[in-house]
Structure 1
Amino acid sequence: MTETVLDDTSYLRALPKAELHCHLEGSVPAATMIELARRNGAPLPTYDAAELYQVDIGEDEFQRLAEHMPSWIGQGFARKYQRRIDTPDDFYGLAVFESFLERFDQVCGVLQTAEDFSRAAYDSLITAADQANVRYREMFFHPMNHPGVSYRTMVDGLIDGIRAAAVDRRVIGRLIPAINRDCSAAAAAALAQQVVSYRTDEIAGLASDYDEEHLPAFREAYEIAAKAGLPGTAHAGEYGTAQSIAEAIDILGCTRIDHGYAITTDADLTQRAIEAGIHFTCIFSWSIAITQPACWPLDPPALPPSRRVTSPVAAMLDAGMSISLSSDDPAFDGFGSLADEYVWAAGSLEFDRARMTELSLAAIDGAWLDETDKTALRQEFRNEIGTLTGTTACDSGR
């Protein structure tokens, strides 16, 4: 009998994976969203599945906006993200991000019933399992982006979809309600109170995203969650500065940071984060979009890569930080499945199978699971990795 030997790309795609940074509303297949939109009579900018998640602003729109750079960028756009605009590429990266948020908000309006949320969670999870062998995922959902739907309705629907996916694909799903920081601090505190008042086993913690300029304003929401035993994470240092990361850790009490690439500009904060055991959930492709927008979207994932790009993820790993890879919004154009992220990272970072296997297990280290569940999940991963490599145990020693 001939033994099948996997090439490196196939190995990375088959590797069992966990991810801690994925947005429900950005991970539902376009065909599902369009089907639900038509059923609910919800408006979408397009009903073409190939175009629904495209966020490229286009050359004409870019030129129109670029003409106004001197007058309004300094006052608004750059201040919002705490970023200098030194080149057209810098501006283009921010403009794409703004376009992405607008499209993300439009997609959120499609989900209106418990059945919609169940279908969204189910299709998102089974797609991840089929495309990338995702076995565990902590998934953000955004109650403030669904003002016409009660929190309980969302959670009940999501749990139904998560449990169905667990039966059909053996993928474990957990939920992290996320505060939209474009909303008020009072609204955030009210959401946190709803979260702790309706606790289920599937709720893993509390998150926040969108605007990075006013993180301290959301302290009360995080305190409410922490008193109920829920850990916190925050999108910080994505388009903002390292200061937003420090605020998330010191003021909000976050034990994880989502993105966090700006920490590479602050050696002291980097050391503090390492000593405190702060885990960073990184998206390789998006780190390129932010720091090198001229190189984004990336070429199709392949080994060896057609070109190598430099990512802040490399500096974070070199510093000894605790990080894992995630897919963020895999349905959107320019992103990819978690398997794609692994291939992109391996090619550009020049990581071998052993290093990528370590990253796979690092996601379990950062997961909001108790130690018993972490140990069981690690063993499951090791057994599967052993099957892939033809060994009885994972060689990483973790």
Structure 2
Amino acid sequence: MPTLAEFCERVPKAEVHCHFVGAIPAEVAWRIAARNDVPLPADGPATLYRFDNFHQFIDRYMTVATALRRPADFAEAVYAVLQDGAEHGNVRYRELFFNPTDHHHASYPDMLTGLLDGIAAAETDLGVRCRLVPSINRMQSPQIGVQMVEQVVAHRRDEVIGIGLDASEPAGPPELFAEAFAIAGRAGLRRTAHACEDYAGLDGGPPRNATTCLDLLGCDRLDHGYNILADEAVVQRCRDAGVPFTCCLPGSNPVLRPARIESIRTMLELGLPVSLHSDDPAMHGANPGEVYTFAAEVLGLGIAEVGALALAAVDATWLDDTERSALRSEFQAEIDRLAGER
């Protein structure tokens, strides 16, 4: 009979808010950097992902990103990411963010080749499926975002299903990226954006950013979203439209505010379509199984609520209706089986 923690670990999961670089296990990042003679700001894998604030996190993240140089590096890293999720949380499906413009020493075609090779190998070996969501780094210029999306469209692959917008929200309000998102929309790509996020020691995005993402950028889901709670009209708009929110808990790293826990609690109580994801699991020290376990502990969730969160993540995916329905049925059957063991 599984305990609640064991149920949280074993319940099948879909993740649609997970960043490629932030999910690379430290030992794999260290090995790739050493192979490419790229110095990292640590004395070994054990200290590579130690940081005290958001700025240090971004600096460490960008350093690891620049260490990836060749298709084989991307293939090795993404395989490790998918293997780690499967082994530490039973992640069956991922829509993985990656920022092409953060990888300064690789062309988009080369990184795409490597990522797709690693994804194909993981599906064959592990049964884990993955799709890619190239994401604009909003700390770079809107024109760089336009150029990135043009590259994505020019080298279109079925496994690349949409685009995102991430990094420090105050540095790049969503309206600045309307042109890039319009290009993506015309190409038939799905769209999401980090909006109304919270930061330790920094102002987060205001509630109006959510409506800007929906109305101007054409997003059909939002990543994070906690700060919409400051505006009842925005909450009502999102609830009426059934906008999925891909939320992430702080895990063991103190960079993210504990207030996020209460925000997620309130969003669930208000009936918003919330799902839970690991964000940057390796760098933030919380794998998918730990995220669910932590959520159950701090939010007081039981088996039924944890199972509902797993299904909500499936509902938030960009799979077509047939694939989503099949995955949901697969998850529901396994959730029922696990719950029946208790």
Q: TM-score, normalised by structure 1?
A: 0.81
State the match for 1:32 in structure 2: 28
How many pairs align?
332
The answer to whether residue 186 in structure 2 is matched with residue 227 in structure 1 is yes
Cα shift readout 1:316-343 (whole Å, capped 9, x = no counterpart): 111111111000001114x301111111
For 1:351 and 1:9, the matched residues in 2 are separated by: 11
Instruction: Please point out which of 116, 121, 129 is paired with 2:86.
Output: 129
Cα shift readout 1:208-262 (whole Å, capped 9, x = no counterpart): 1123243211001000111111111111111222122222122211111111110
Instruction: Look up the equivalent residue of 1:316 and give its one-letter code.
Output: M
Question: How do residues 100-111 of structure 1 correspond to structure 2 at under 5 angstroms?
Answer: 100-111=57-68
The answer to whether residue 210 in structure 2 is matched with residue 260 in structure 1 is no
For 2:157 and 2:239, the matched residues in 1 are separated by: 31
For 2:25 and 2:327, the matched residues in 1 are separated by: 27
Cα shift readout 1:87-140 (whole Å, capped 9, x = no counterpart): xxxxxxxxx111111111111111111000001110000010001000011110
The answer to whether residue 302 in structure 2 is matched with residue 364 in structure 1 is no
State the SS of the aligned residue for 2:176. Answer: helix
State the SS of the aligned residue for 1:285. Answer: coil
State the match for 1:325 in structure 2: 276
The answer to whether residue 293 in structure 2 is matched with residue 343 in structure 1 is yes
For 2:286 and 2:186, the matched residues in 1 are separated by: 36
State the SS of the aligned residue for 1:50. Answer: helix
For 1:209 and 1:282, the matched residues in 2 are separated by: 14
CA contact (8 A) 1:284 1:325 kept: yes
Give the 4+ runs in structure 1 shifted more than 6 A.
Answer: none
Consecutive unaligned residues in structure 1, runs of 5 or more: 57-95, 294-308, 392-398
For 2:78 and 2:97, the matched residues in 1 are separated by: 11
Question: How do residues 1-398 of structure 1 correspond to structure 2 at under 5 angstroms?
Answer: 5-56=1-52, 96-213=53-170, 214-238=173-197, 239-285=204-250, 289-292=255-258, 310-333=261-284, 335-390=285-340
State the SS of the aligned residue for 1:332. Answer: helix
Q: Which has the larger radius of gyration?
A: 1
For 1:98 and 1:367, the matched residues in 2 are separated by: 30
Instruction: Look up the equivalent residue of 1:277 and give its one-letter code.
Output: G
Question: 1:364: how far off?
Answer: 0.7
Instruction: Look up the equivalent residue of 2:258 and give its one-letter code.
Output: Q
CA contact (8 A) 1:285 1:344 kept: no
Instruction: Look up the equivalent residue of 1:371 and give its one-letter code.
Output: D
CA contact (8 A) 1:273 1:321 kept: yes
State the SS of the aligned residue for 1:174. Answer: strand
Cα shift readout 1:260-296 (whole Å, capped 9, x = no counterpart): 1101111100111112221111002269854437xxx
State the SS of the aligned residue for 2:48. Answer: coil
- Deviates most, 272-281 or 356-365: 272-281
State the match for 2:200 in structure 1: none
CA contact (8 A) 1:16 1:360 kept: yes
For 1:378 and 1:282, the matched residues in 2 are separated by: 19
Instruction: Look up the equivalent residue of 2:265 and give its one-letter code.
Output: A
Consecutive unaligned residues in structure 2, runs of 5 or more: 198-203
Inter-CA distance 253–39: structure 2 relative to 1 (3 Å threshold): same
Q: Percent identity?
A: 40
CA contact (8 A) 2:250 2:257 kept: no
Instruction: Look up the equivalent residue of 2:11 and give its one-letter code.
Output: L
